[in-house]
Structure 1
C-alpha cells in the first residue's frame, strides 16, 4: 500500500538544508577539549586567590601530595577546592537547564532565572528558614526542588491563559512578573521572621563558604541529571524543530518533556539550594553554544555544560578581584553579561508579537 504524499514530512529535510541546522562536530569536539582544559586551569587559578598567597605549584602539591601539617594545604583542601568545584558544577547545572528549556519550548528567552524557576526555589528556601529552622542541606535541596516546580508551573499557567497563546516574549513577561512577586514574598518572609541575614546569601548568589558536604549532596544530581540529559539529547533536537514535526517522526514528546522537566528541576533546585540566585547563565550560554556548534543537542548539552562551568568559575574569580578584599556577588557579575543579552533577545523576539 502506497503511503500518501501528504503524510510524508518534508520539514526535517527542509531544515537539514539550512545552514543553521547543520551540526559542527569538529567545533564541538574542540570546545569540549579546549574548554575542559581551560576550566581545569581556571579552577587552579581560582584556588590560588584569597587572603593567603598560594601559587599554582602549591595548589598542585595540596591536591596530589597533601600534607595535613601545612596550613596552605588545609586551605586548599577545606576551603578553596570545594568552592571552585561548586562554581563549575553550578555553571553546568544552569547552562544545561537553560539549553533544555529553550529546546523543549522553542523559546529563545527561556532560562531558569527568567521562567520563575530560580525565584520559586528561593521562596521555598525562605519558607524553610522561617518555619523549619535547622533544616539539613538535603532538606533545603528538597524545598528548592519543590519551589522550582511551583515557579515554573505558575509561569506556564499564566502564559497559557494569555490571548493568542504562548509566545517567547509572553512567557518571559510572565516569568518576570511571577519572579518579582515570589521575590517580594521571599523578602517579606525573611524580614517578618527575622531570617533576612540567612537569606541574604541566596538573594545575592555566590559560592563563598561552600564545603565538601555541598559537593557530596549535588554530585548525585550531576550524575542523574547528566545521564538523563544525554539520553534525551537527540529527542530534544527533534522537538526543537516543532512538536508536530517531532510527533510525525514518532517521538514520544510527552515523555521527553517530562524527563527534560525533571532534569531542569533537579539541576536548578540543587543550584539554588547551594549557590542562591545566579541569573542569566542559562540564557546566554545555550545561545553561544548553538551559534558555535549548530542545533544538534547531542553537542549542545555537553558543550553548554563545559562553557557554563567555565563561565561561572571565571565569574567567581572576577567577584573576588573587583573590590578586594571584599567579594562582589557572583550574580552581579553574570548579570552584567546577561541583562544586555536578554534585552537584545527580547527586542528581536518582540517583533513577532
Structure 2
C-alpha cells in the first residue's frame, strides 16, 4: 500500500534545509512571503491542513480551533513555548499538540548572559557613544559599570535554561540563587552551586541581578508584579529571555524611569509583538527582537524536531514531544 503524504501547512517560512526535508516527506504549503499569516489565512489553514505548523506569532485559540476541519489532527508547533495555543481545547477536539523542547536551551542561556553583561558593563551605551557621538578619549569616570564577579544572581525558573544559565554564571564568578516551583535535588544544587529560595519575595529583595527563565502559564502571569518589583534593590537589574507576560511591563517601565531599578534587558515583551515605546527612550534598557533562539543551528534543530513529531504521528505513534494540559 503506497504511503499517503500528509497535508502540512507551515504558517511562516522556515530554514531552507528544513523546508526541503519537509517537502520530501509531506505535501507542504507555505506562503510565498516570509510574514505572519493573517487571521483569515489561519482560518483557511485549519480548514484544510491535516497538520498545522505554527509559531509563537500565531494565536491558535478556541475560536480558531472551532473552525478547524475534521482532518486537522496535529499542531506541530515550531518552538518550545505553547502559551499561544489553546492546548485544552485542541485536546477536546481530538487534535494533538507537539513542540520543540530542549533545542533552544544553550542558545537562550547564552542570550541571558549576554544581557547581564550588556547591562552591568553598559555595553550598549558605549556602543552608542562610539557610533553617534564619537570617542573623545579615555576618562577614569566614563561609563563605569559594575563588576560581574561576586554579583548575586537570582534565577526565576530553574528548568533546563535556568540550569544552563547557572553554569555560565558560575564561570563568571556570580553567586547563584533560584526560585522554582519545585526544589531541585540536593546533588543538582551542589553541582550548580545554587541556593534555593522558597520565598520569591525574599530572593528578589536580595539579588543584584534577576533573570526570568520560567514559562508563561496562568500561575506565572505577572509573577513579577508591581509590588514584587518594588522589592528589588535600586542598583539591581533584571533580564527576561522567557516570556514577557511574567513581568508587569508597565510597572517595570515606571520604575526604570523613576530610577527605582538600575536597568533591564528584555528579549520578550508583554504582548509578544513589541516593546512598550517608553522603554526605547531609556539608555539603561537593552531591547532585543526575541533573539534568544536565533542561531542557525538552533533553528534547524527546531525544524528537525517538528519533522520527527509529524513523521512519528504519520506512522501511527504518539509524537515524542506531545504537549498535554497537565504539563502546563
Q: TM-score, normalised by structure 2?
A: 0.30
Structure with greater strand percent: 2
Larger RCO, structure (CA 8 Å, separation 6 or more): 1
Q: TM-score, normalised by structure 1?
A: 0.28
